[in-house]
């Protein structure tokens, strides 16, 4: 355990004006409060805040932040109070400790809605003082370093939370070293087999190319010295997680990766960066297409460097990063390198935004909290923004727009302004009219073509790559749907009034709305149009408002009750109640004829297959049968922009609970003996049955397995997916795409054809 004077000396080494008394008081107070508390490892609990403080001294943070690190668990885990912290250490430190305490109580990676709400709280706490984030990241880093002492289920939860939220958040703040260590520690916990395979190969390659690395390093140093450039040259091997993501993205074996070895050239000035680049390109062959100038156009997190790749000794490719000392400091420490808390500095985000693009992103994200979007929308928006890499495009007037890889002109339009995105109908890329699905490349000039009468179709959400665009599209679609529901509700209410031979004024309409628990007439009409108000209940309340006796309706006469196997009943209404005749039930690739008030109606099932619990939607057309689809059906994409009414349909499988349904799942497995047995055991543990299997080799180390399984309902399918995600050696476990599901069906059909040929 670090001693009191050792911690103070570490701070004084980079900040001679640090408040020694503050650090000493915080050390003694935290040690006394935590007392005899122990961690899961058996170590004294006080060792944890002490290690967090040590991590922050490596970032050269101010003495107040170091004191907060020592105190960050006192309110949460001891009898210390906020008032006591304020009295002893000041309200500034007390506020930061209190913000960290609120974050400590969060449990991310639970239900999606809860996770989104907790992420809101996290970012709002950071917005009050960004030092909350710095201490929290250091706290998470030490917890990840000691994760092995926790129970297995808690290890998985904390590692997933780290990979989903904290590692990318550190990256967004420019803290690349911390991000890399967090990712590797989480990777080791979540996919230990993958981690071991990659690290073992890395160790072998590092030993094999040790001589090559030293030779290239020596040659670079010599050439730069001869040119009069004072440079520091260092070599490195990429992290296990970055290699794993590149293997997955490029679908190639580890041995085929060409830029495993990297070198950093650190020089005094920006001018020296470009001089060094000239020396490198003059003396070595350059790999085409691998040059990036992040000095001229910095990344979103303030990262600046020149990247190039050369062919060195033995035709070994080597990636070079050329940067100044100041750029290197920001690349390593991110926001911590801005020295934001010097005497007289402020932590107000409006002021800091001009100093750091990372703060500008944080402000935009926090502003998104006030848009009133749903928690699920916010979670998707934030995660998309956290995980982006960038391309840089220009408006015709030369304005630079940074977008993620895979962005389209739709994302470009929404990045300019929400109104431009909503009214976008086309785009010119480098002067040529191109489809809106075109992926933009760095350097593209994009001109948006607009129509003020246009509204974004719902299927744009599948095209857009940015959280901002998706949230705006979803909001516009939701508003348009409410307008359509309002018009339909107005029509249905008018029909009811005409049938009853009555009319109502505005006061009576508001009275009717409140009787049905809606705040006003408009909300009531929208609810009627969305099918949320039962017709019988509406008629009853209308009669009460008008003071008339409600006439009894004749019950619905549904044909062929003896043939019904079960009901598909429209939610919250009996007006469109219908059933499946002849014992046909919906399932994968089913085409089931339904009877609905004398009309012929059918259920269309997409190739993924549906299971009880999946949401079903009924599409109501004028003078036509109701069409029923699962919510994930591709057919619904084309119907988003129509004026047709959407009605939720519920499952009713009473008496048929033992029926099984086919659904397709996919996963990535390590190529080793017994991996298929592990998958089978995990599926069997959830009491599901394997019906069919397709296996594809994606690299020498990994296989992609696509299983068609039989389950009772959505709950059992969820159990299967959870069981597989907890199985070592598996990753990317999910419900299959349409193409993957079709590959299983094609193989099954091909097998059947072969059997027929043998029989004949």
Domain boundary among 623, 651, 679: 651
Q: Is residue 468 part of a domain?
A: no
- Do 86 and 48 have their domain in common? yes
Q: Is-catalytic flag, 523?
A: no
Q: Which two tokens stand for residue 217?
A: 């390093």
Domain boundary among 498, 516, 546: 546
**What are the start-end ranges of the H helices in 284-348?**
325-333
Give, for 400, the enclosing helix (H) or strand (E): strand 400-404
DSSP state of 389: -
- Do 538 and 582 have their domain in common? no
Domain boundary among 140, 170, 189: 189
- For residues 304 and 290, the answer to whether their CB atoms sit within 8 Å is no
Q: Is residue 382 part of a domain?
A: no
207 sits in the region (left: phi over 0; alpha: psi -120 to 50; else beta) called alpha
Distance between CA 740 and CA 685 in Å, rounded?
24
Strand partners, 690: 709
Out of 19, 43, 76, 86, pick the active-site residue: 76
Distance between CA 174 and CA 355 in Å, rounded?
13
Give CA 96 to chain center in angstroms. 27
- Name the residue with tokens 């006394």: 32
- Do 301 and 328 have their domain in common? yes
Q: Where residue 745 sits, what CATH number does that domain have?
A: 3.30.70.260
Q: pTM (2 decimals)?
A: 0.53
3-state SS, residue 309: strand
Distance between CA 582 and CA 565 in Å, rounded?
7
Strand partners, 707: 665, 693
- For residues 303 and 357, the answer to whether their CB atoms sit within 8 Å is no
Task: State the virtual CA torsion across 161, 167, 170, 174 in degrees, nearest 10.
Answer: -160
Q: What residues contact residue 708 under an 8 Å CB cut-off, 6+ apart?
A: 662, 663, 664, 690, 691, 692, 693, 741, 744, 748
What burial class does residue 714 get, using C-beta atoms within 10 Å of its C-beta: 0-12 exposed, 13-18 middle, 19+ buried?
A: middle
- Do 169 and 57 have their domain in common? yes
Q: Where residue 61 sits, what CATH number does that domain have?
A: 1.10.3210.10
Q: Is-catalytic flag, 92?
A: no
Q: Is residue 377 part of a domain?
A: no
Q: How many CA atoms lie within 13 A of 746 on its CB side?
A: 8
Query: Could you tell me which of 349, 338, 305, 298 has the C-alpha nearest to residue 323?
Result: 305
Q: What residues contact residue 33 under an 8 Å CB cut-off, 6+ apart?
A: 74, 78, 79, 80
DSSP state of 338: G
- Do 393 and 502 have their domain in common? no
Q: Is residue 370 part of a domain?
A: no
Q: Where residue 421 sits, what CATH number does that domain have?
A: 3.10.20.30
Q: Is residue 383 part of a domain?
A: no
Q: Is residue 656 part of a domain?
A: no
- Do 480 and 458 have their domain in common? no
- Do 183 and 203 have their domain in common? no
Distance between CA 475 and CA 587 in Å, rounded?
32
DSSP state of 452: T
3-state SS, residue 402: strand
- Do 163 and 50 have their domain in common? yes
- Do 639 and 713 have their domain in common? no
Task: State the virtual CA torsion across 634, 635, 638, 642 in degrees, nearest 10.
Answer: -140
Q: Where residue 300 sits, what CATH number does that domain have?
A: 3.30.460.10
Query: Could you tell me which of 238, 232, 272 has the C-alpha nearest to residue 254?
Result: 238
- Do 681 and 633 have their domain in common? no
- Do 141 and 233 have their domain in common? no
Out of 43, 58, 77, 572, pick the active-site residue: 77
| Domain around 85 | 4-189
How many domains are there within the chain?
A: 6
Q: Is residue 162 part of a domain?
A: yes
Give me the pLDDT at residue 601, please.
37
CA distances from residue 596 to 399, 420, 558, 641, 648 in whole angstroms, order as listed: 57, 44, 8, 25, 16
What burial class does residue 717 get, using C-beta atoms within 10 Å of its C-beta: 0-12 exposed, 13-18 middle, 19+ buried?
A: buried
Q: Is residue 597 part of a domain?
A: yes
Distance between CA 460 and CA 641 in Å, rounded?
11
Residues with pLDDT less than 50, the chain: 106-111, 339-354, 370, 372, 551-608, 749, 752-760
Query: Could you tell me which of 502, 506, 482, 484 has the C-alpha nearest to residue 494?
Result: 502
- Do 520 and 419 have their domain in common? no
């Amino acid at each position: 355990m670090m001693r009191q004077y050792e911690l103070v000396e570490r701070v004084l080494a980079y900040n001679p004006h640090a408040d020694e008394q503050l650090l000493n008081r915080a050390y003694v107070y935290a040690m006394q409060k935590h007392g005899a508390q122990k961690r899961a490892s058996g170590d004294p609990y006080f060792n944890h805040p002490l290690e967090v403080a040590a991590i922050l001294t490596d970032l050269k943070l101010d003495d107040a932040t170091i004191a907060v690190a020592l105190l960050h668990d006192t309110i949460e885990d001891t009898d210390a109070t906020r008032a006591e912290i304020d009295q002893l250490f000041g309200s500034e430190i007390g506020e930061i400790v209190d913000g960290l305490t609120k974050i400590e109580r969060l449990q991310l990676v639970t239900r999606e809605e809860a996770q989104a709400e907790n992420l809101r709280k996290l970012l709002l706490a950071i917005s009050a003082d960004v030092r909350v984030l710095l201490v929290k990241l250091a706290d998470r880093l030490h917890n990840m370093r000691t994760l092995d002492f926790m129970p297995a289920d808690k290890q998985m939860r904390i590692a997933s939370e780290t990979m989903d939220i904290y590692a990318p958040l550190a990256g967004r703040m420019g803290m690349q070293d911390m991000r890399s260590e967090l990712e590797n520690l989480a990777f080791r916990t979540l996919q230990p087999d993958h981690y071991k395979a990659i690290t073992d190969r890395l160790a072998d390659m590092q030993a094999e190319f040790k001589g090559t690395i030293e030779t290239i390093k020596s040659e670079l140093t010599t050439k730069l010295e001869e040119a009069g450039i004072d440079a520091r040259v260092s070599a490195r091997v990429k992290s296990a997680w970055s290699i794993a993501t590149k293997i997955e993205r490029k679908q190639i074996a580890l041995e085929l990766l060409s830029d495993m070895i990297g070198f950093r050239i650190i020089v005094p000035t920006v001018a020296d960066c470009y001089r060094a680049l000239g020396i490198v390109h003059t003396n070595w062959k350059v790999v085409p297409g691998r040059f990036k100038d992040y000095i001229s156009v910095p990344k979103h997190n303030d990262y600046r460097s020149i990247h190039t790749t050369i062919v060195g000794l033995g035709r070994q490719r080597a990636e070079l990063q050329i940067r100044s000392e100041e750029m290197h400091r920001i690349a390593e420490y991110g926001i911590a390198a801005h020295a934001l808390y010097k005497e007289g500095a402020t932590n107000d985000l409006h002021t800091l935004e001009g100093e750091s693009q990372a703060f500008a992103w944080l402000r935009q994200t926090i502003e998104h909290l006030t848009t009133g979007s749903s928690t699920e929308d916010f979670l998707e928006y934030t995660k998309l923004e956290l995980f982006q890499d960038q391309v840089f495009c220009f408006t015709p007037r030369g304005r630079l727009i940074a977008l993620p890889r895979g962005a389209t002109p739709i994302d470009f339009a929404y990045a300019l302004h929400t109104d431009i995105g909503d009214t976008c109908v086309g785009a010119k890329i480098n002067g040529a009219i191109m489809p809106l699905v075109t992926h933009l490349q760095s350097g593209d000039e994009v001109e948006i073509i607009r129509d003020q009468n246009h509204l974004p179709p719902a299927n744009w959400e599948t095209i857009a790559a940015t959280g901002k665009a998706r949230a705006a599209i979803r909001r516009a679609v939701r508003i348009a749907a409410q307008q359509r529901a309002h018009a339909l509700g107005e029509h249905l209410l008018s029909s009811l009034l005409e049938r009853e031979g009555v009319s109502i004024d505005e006061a009576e309409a508001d009275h009717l709305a409140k009787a049905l628990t809606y705040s006003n007439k408009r909300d009531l009409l929208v609810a009627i149009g969305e099918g949320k108000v039962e017709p019988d209940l509406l008629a009853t309340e209308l009669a009460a408002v008008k003071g008339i006796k409600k006439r009894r309706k004749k019950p619905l006469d549904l044909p062929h009750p003896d043939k019904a196997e079960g009901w598909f009943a429209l939610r919250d209404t009996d007006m469109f109640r219908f059933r499946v005749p002849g014992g046909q039930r919906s399932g994968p690739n089913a085409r089931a004829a339904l009877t609905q008030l004398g009309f012929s109606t059918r259920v269309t099932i997409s190739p993924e297959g549906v299971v009880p619990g999946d949401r079903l939607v009924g599409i109501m057309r004028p003078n036509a049968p109701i069409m029923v689809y699962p919510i994930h059906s591709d057919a619904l994409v084309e119907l988003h922009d129509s004026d047709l009414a959407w009605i939720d349909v519920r499952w009713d499988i009473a008496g048929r609970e033992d029926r099984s349904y086919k659904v397709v799942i996919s996963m990535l497995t390590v190529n080793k003996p017994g991996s298929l047995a592990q998958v089978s055991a995990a599926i069997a543990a959830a009491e599901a049955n394997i019906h069919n299997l397709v296996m594809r080799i994606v690299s020498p180390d990994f296989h992609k397995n696509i299983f068609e399984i039989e389950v009772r309902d959505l709950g059992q399918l969820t159990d299967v997916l959870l069981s597989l995600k907890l199985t070592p050696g598996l990753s990317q476990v999910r419900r299959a795409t349409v193409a993957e599901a079709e590959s299983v069906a094609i193989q099954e059909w091909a097998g059947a054809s072969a059997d027929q040929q043998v029989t004949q």
